[in-house]
Structure 1
Amino acid sequence: MSQSAFSGKRIVILAGPGESTDILFHALDREFGVHRIIVETPVSQKQLLKRRLEKLGWPTVAGQVLFKLLIAKQLEGSSKRRLQAIKQQQQLDSRPLPEDRVVRVSSVNAPECIEQLQQLQPDVIVVNGTRIISKKVLNSVPCKFINTHAGITPLYRGVHGGYWALANNDRAHCGVSVHLVDPGIDTGAIIAQALIDPTPEDNFVTYPLLQLAAGLPLLKQAIRDALQGTLMLKPAPEGQSRLWSHPTLQEYLHNRRRTGTR
């Protein structure tokens, strides 16, 4: 169906700032016309570090920081050409968001965000890259909250689901999920899932872009179905539900030696 088929329907994006949000907006705006993008201020690096220390302990967090400084930064630099090639091949538009449609809030869970949602009265809310959304926000408006997750849930919840699947020699679950949002961490009911097929050129920093590209058609169909009242859910794949975090330097080097995962 064309954008005109959904004229009058209000699609609102609830997101954190970043390139994936820019790409998501332009893809959905071409298809449906996005009414507004509510962008939250991300949690500060200091707060994130404090939370990780409380949850994981300093040896793990120190290893994660070393991985980011010694591996991830290097991969970001060496993968620029591959990232650009993926964008071109998949027609991903990463131009900045149009400020006239952006509403900025301190947090998705702040009263100001609830107020904005209730004023906008969206027909569908698309979530991308926010902190965990509270039940109060999810219940504040009578519509579906839909998220695209870079991993096959519930096996690869949390972050870097594509990387961890490959590191576990689990290519059959290296992919992306589109799911309803609930107050848990990537625990909402599954709408659709798709696999990615990384090339030898791909690595830790390119997997998420491949997952986003694979997830966009699923997300568009989920939005169409939600707007038409025909949204269907699918059973979760068999396996252990697990929440994954950022790799440490030691884990990354071990996985690279063992499976070749970059």
Structure 2
Amino acid sequence: MRTVLICHEGDDFDRAGLAAWLASFSELAGVVVLAETPAQMRARVRREIRRVGWLRFLDVVAMRLYQRVALARRDRAWTAAALTRMRERYGEPPAVPQLVAADVNDEAVAAFLRHTAPDIVLARCKQLLKKRQIAIPRIGCFVLHPGICPEYRNAHGCFWALSQRDLERVGMTLLKVDAGVDTGPVYGYYSYPFDERRESHVVIQYRVVLENLDRLAQRFSDIFEGTASVVDTRDRPSGSWGQPWLSRYLRWQRAAKAAGP
């Protein structure tokens, strides 16, 4: 099984940890590193403002500021420890061809994928792949979506499930990418005994990957062998969510404390 990883610059959990993990059970043929431009980040902000409006966007900004001041240091410490665990188990990622690009849909990325000829692409990126890129890998492009689909599609599904008190749907979805937003075939759901009073939503959405690496490796092998079945998601509600709000975070924290240890 030949694989290619697409990840963001600066995300060592993916770029180092998941790359080494992929190499442990597949032939890692290459890595695409996305180095986004300020213009792309501004465009993402404009899209979120169109989604929720200016007043609610201030709630988003307040959450970002709170996260930076109150949560980021602890989150970074957890990520560093998680990466150490992954390095101890899988070692350093192998020296494979890498491409740095700003846009996952660039022709340079398409050419790189055609050259590396993967069976499976694991897309760990915020950018949506267009049909041209999706069609290149022999079996398909897959994502480890932080949320249970179809109820928690798009962004930060773990956060929204927690804030909605939908604790049975705090987890991750392995799905195959299609032309929609997290609407492709579902190949599995994954979770772990999270601690919502002590773990941030950022830690939860990374840890749900870390705690399920063995199961995910087996699932990808099943997909490669053609023995993996698809989960039937028909007749289930579908929701598309956005960036976290501070008001919802505070409500979640109050509810978590009221629920007890």
Give the structure-2-normalised TM-score. 0.84
Report what 1:19 is aligned to. 12
Distance 1:82 1:39 in 2: 23
Distance 1:127 1:216 in 2: 16
Report what 1:123 is aligned to. 119
The answer to whether structure 1 residue 168 and structure 2 residue 160 are counterparts is no
Distance 1:16 1:81 in 2: 19
Distance 2:149 2:232 in 1: 10
The answer to whether structure 1 residue 225 and structure 2 residue 222 are counterparts is yes
Deviation at 1:82, TM superposition (A): 4.5
Distance 1:21 1:152 in 2: 20
Deviation at 1:222, TM superposition (A): 2.7
1:76, 1:205 within 8 Å by CA — same for their partners in 2? no
2:110, 2:133 within 8 Å by CA — same for their partners in 1? yes
Distance 1:170 1:69 in 2: 25
Report % sequence identity. 21
Deviation at 1:37, TM superposition (A): 0.6
1:124, 1:226 within 8 Å by CA — same for their partners in 2? no
Letter of the structure 2 residue corresponding to residue 174 of structure 1: V
| CA displacement, residues 14-48 of structure 1 (integer Å, 9 cap, x when unaligned) | 23331332221121112223110112233533222
Deviation at 1:85, TM superposition (A): 5.2
Distance 1:217 1:72 in 2: 32
Distance 2:215 2:234 in 1: 17
Deviation at 1:83, TM superposition (A): 4.5
SS of the aligned residue for 2:24 comes to helix
Report what 2:33 is aligned to. 39
2:148, 2:172 within 8 Å by CA — same for their partners in 1? yes
Distance 1:71 1:217 in 2: 31
Distance 2:248 2:74 in 1: 21
- Among 95, 114, 132, the residue aligned to 2:110: 114
Report what 1:64 is aligned to. 60
1:150, 1:177 within 8 Å by CA — same for their partners in 2? yes
Letter of the structure 1 residue corresponding to residue 50 of structure 2: E
1:157, 1:242 within 8 Å by CA — same for their partners in 2? yes
Letter of the structure 2 residue corresponding to residue 223 of structure 1: F
| CA displacement, residues 130-156 of structure 1 (integer Å, 9 cap, x when unaligned) | 401111211234332111111111111
Q: 1:54 and 1:120, CA in 2 relative to 1: closer, same or farther beyond 3 A?
A: same
Report what 1:211 is aligned to. 208
Question: Counterparts in 2 of 1:81-92, with a 5 A limit?
Answer: 81-84=77-80, 86=82, 91-92=85-86
Letter of the structure 2 residue corresponding to residue 14 of structure 1: I
Distance 1:20 1:87 in 2: 6
Q: 1:137 and 1:100, CA in 2 relative to 1: closer, same or farther beyond 3 A?
A: closer
The answer to whether structure 1 residue 149 and structure 2 residue 156 are counterparts is no
Distance 1:55 1:81 in 2: 33
The answer to whether structure 1 residue 28 and structure 2 residue 29 are counterparts is no
Distance 2:139 2:199 in 1: 37
Q: 1:192 and 1:102, CA in 2 relative to 1: closer, same or farther beyond 3 A?
A: same
| CA displacement, residues 170-192 of structure 1 (integer Å, 9 cap, x when unaligned) | 21111111111112111111101
Q: Which runs of 5+ in 2 are unaligned?
A: none
Q: Which runs of 5+ in 1 are unaligned?
A: 1-8
Q: 1:227 and 1:189, CA in 2 relative to 1: closer, same or farther beyond 3 A?
A: same
Query: What CA RMSD, in Å, does the superposition of the two structures yield over aligned residues?
Result: 2.6
2:120, 2:141 within 8 Å by CA — same for their partners in 1? yes
Q: 1:41 and 1:71, CA in 2 relative to 1: closer, same or farther beyond 3 A?
A: closer
- Among 249, 253, 257, the residue aligned to 2:250: 253
Deviation at 1:80, TM superposition (A): 4.6
Report what 2:240 is aligned to. 243
1:25, 1:97 within 8 Å by CA — same for their partners in 2? yes
